[in-house]
Structure 1
């Protein structure tokens, strides 16, 4: 829609982020910081090169502050509150100098609200869900559909499971104010198939276009500096994709080197996974898409994603 440029500084739209700092030492709230080498851009947010993090990383004093402030999974959190709190916390690194999976996508959701004048749920409904015929994708499950929400389990030592999200008392049923672009939606395989098929078609499905063909082509290129892969550039220990041989585009992981990735597939394959071990990928070379839905956290509980790729690609004979 031409509302912004990728290299626009984020503070152009969020003034409180003009003087973001980078962590040097200390613990919350007594951090020692240094200035950023350059301002954070929208490109940094889309590619997870922003310097932001997630509280669940359990790796640094910065993500410890995220946990203390309950910036992950807090039902009373709002996007406005998140953005305000982040303006006062240091970044883990100067924008554009490293890669780390983070709340960057949630900040992108906040920007969507600013650019469109719509709440994130209304924007998604008007511009993605309704055009694609996605009738079972929500931030809050309607009461008459609550019986369809599956339980989510957490893997425990000894190969046992603990109920992590009870569908009878889930925040996805009760509702909450935090419209998280990075992890706030629930859906079903039929709806996600329609979304993924639109991407596989170049941004269009059944006459409804949600993104321009050339825009999507640009999004699924590797945007890491020097065409490096994640092991060369990542400071974190967690992502929803294998690191080796994988780059990152504007919201997608990108397979760069099949041999280095040690998973069967094609160069140019793109996709992502979810916390509950869900996964999707699109392989343009094979005209193939895969969607896998399950309800088990963490996503590293079993090597499901690697096994799925091996099974699917081994079945290709033509």
Structure 2
């Protein structure tokens, strides 16, 4: 049985059964030149292992398109002797979203869809959506959507769709009942949280989603949602290929991303981390590598949160972005398409107060810094539910990513403070 767990649920404290995995007294450090080149970042990520808060942490930093520096500390799991490294496998969760966003931009470049094209052109069931009169309120007191959902709306979380890790009340229950989820966490049952059975395919998920009301009118509110998962289905229809096959053919293979999957091959389990929940001064293994749910075929490829990858692989994706669509001899997209993808695609009129992007913009599946941001313009990227974060800083010519495996990501400040700490190294 697939057990879906929300970040909110984990944050609230879980009465998980079984003995806690106690943290070791000594941490195994993994050394590389990057530790001296980026001392603040190295000290920051290593501290979580030294303090016995995390099993392993890693950073990947590159300047321009030069080879990345990888540096970190610790091991794949608390009971593992294998140190983390560039080819360790991490659950990316929502760091999948920029990948899906860039995939959609490829189809826009191909002329197979347009940025402001209604998605009903591809999925007719979305032609006449209804909207909750009160967000997260009644799912029967509704009004017709004032505008169509567009590709831009899906790219930027402005379609008005919900998320079962965000919404409350009847609409959350409706999402759960319909099996509309953004990812998977564990095979393990968690007391107090009923299991959700995901829809069996992207097509079925989309069909079920079209029957549910929107939380907001499209184009009015930034609301974290399943929009990038739905975009995976739009990509299937527009391209004529299965979503995962499209990613492999147009992104992963050309970029040499040989360790990026929705399902980890059994032969690669020796590289997979264990995912933990910090709880009561201990780490509880919620998805041990050897019995990980990521060893099973997913119900469908989650474009919003389904990928597992290595730091080396994801760095190639970020390097391509920093190269405005090119990496080495491979050109994935035109420079103007890459620049558009990493630009702010939402209007000032879109409400975002109190959201993850308050005071910021949003591009193709990733947050975008603005001139008014502390760092200024030029940063594009996103983070994941298990503590990972990745971005490009186009203004300064850097790409950076931080890796850890714990849920919820807010339980420790690894993800929250990684970018800020990295900026200390590059800005002084």
Counterparts in 2 of 1:169 and 1:29: CA distance versus 1, 3 Å? farther
**1:288 aligned to which of 393, 398, 403:** 398
Counterparts in 2 of 1:27 and 1:289: CA distance versus 1, 3 Å? closer
**1:255 aligned to which of 353, 357, 369:** 369
Instruction: Please state whether the residue corresponding to 2:426 is helix, strand or coil.
Output: coil
Show the counterpart of 1:24: 133
1:62 matches 2:171: yes
**Kept in 2: contact 1:28–1:65 (CA 8 A):** no
Counterparts in 2 of 1:134 and 1:63: CA distance versus 1, 3 Å? same
Show the counterpart of 2:77: none
Aligned length: 305
Show the counterpart of 1:47: 156
Counterparts in 2 of 1:136 and 1:25: CA distance versus 1, 3 Å? same
Unmatched segments (≥5 aa) in structure 2: 1-109, 185-196
Q: Displacement, 1:57?
A: 1.0
**Kept in 2: contact 1:151–1:295 (CA 8 A):** yes
User: In terms of Rg, which structure is larger?
Assistant: 2
Q: Deviations over 1:71-97 (max 9, x none)?
A: 114455321121011111000011001
**Kept in 1: contact 2:136–2:168 (CA 8 A):** no
Instruction: Please state whether the residue corresponding to 1:281 is helix, strand or coil.
Output: strand
Counterparts in 2 of 1:9 and 1:296: CA distance versus 1, 3 Å? same
1:124 matches 2:247: yes
Counterparts in 2 of 1:313 and 1:169: CA distance versus 1, 3 Å? same
1:163 matches 2:285: yes
**Kept in 2: contact 1:52–1:102 (CA 8 A):** yes
Counterparts in 2 of 1:60 and 1:6: CA distance versus 1, 3 Å? farther
1:267 matches 2:381: no
Show the counterpart of 1:107: 230
CA distance in 2, matches of 1:120, 1:298: 28
Q: Deviations over 1:269-301 (max 9, x none)?
A: 111101111001111111111111111111212
Show the counterpart of 1:303: 413
CA distance in 2, matches of 1:249, 1:272: 10
**2:424 aligned to which of 295, 314, 318:** 314
Specify which structure has the bigger relative contact order, considering alpha-carbon pairs within 8 angstroms and separated by 6 or more residues: 2
- Name which of structure 1's ranges 244-253 and 41-50 shifts more when overlaid on structure 2: 244-253
Q: Displacement, 1:314?
A: 2.0
Counterparts in 2 of 1:191 and 1:110: CA distance versus 1, 3 Å? same
Q: Displacement, 1:27?
A: 8.8
**1:234 aligned to which of 336, 352, 365:** 352
**Kept in 1: contact 2:132–2:141 (CA 8 A):** yes
CA distance in 2, matches of 1:76, 1:85: 8
Counterparts in 2 of 1:150 and 1:305: CA distance versus 1, 3 Å? closer
Unmatched segments (≥5 aa) in structure 1: none
Q: Displacement, 1:50?
A: 0.3
- What is the TM-score when the length of structure 2 is the normalising length? 0.67
Q: Within 5 A, what are the aligned runs for 1:116-195? A: 116-156=239-279, 158-195=280-317
CA distance in 1, matches of 2:409, 2:355: 10
CA distance in 2, matches of 1:180, 1:163: 23
Counterparts in 2 of 1:198 and 1:303: CA distance versus 1, 3 Å? same
CA distance in 1, matches of 2:388, 2:140: 36
Show the counterpart of 1:85: 208
Aligned Cα RMSD in Å?
Answer: 2.3
CA distance in 2, matches of 1:115, 1:81: 17
Instruction: Please state whether the residue corresponding to 1:251 is helix, strand or coil.
Output: coil
Q: Displacement, 1:22?
A: 0.3
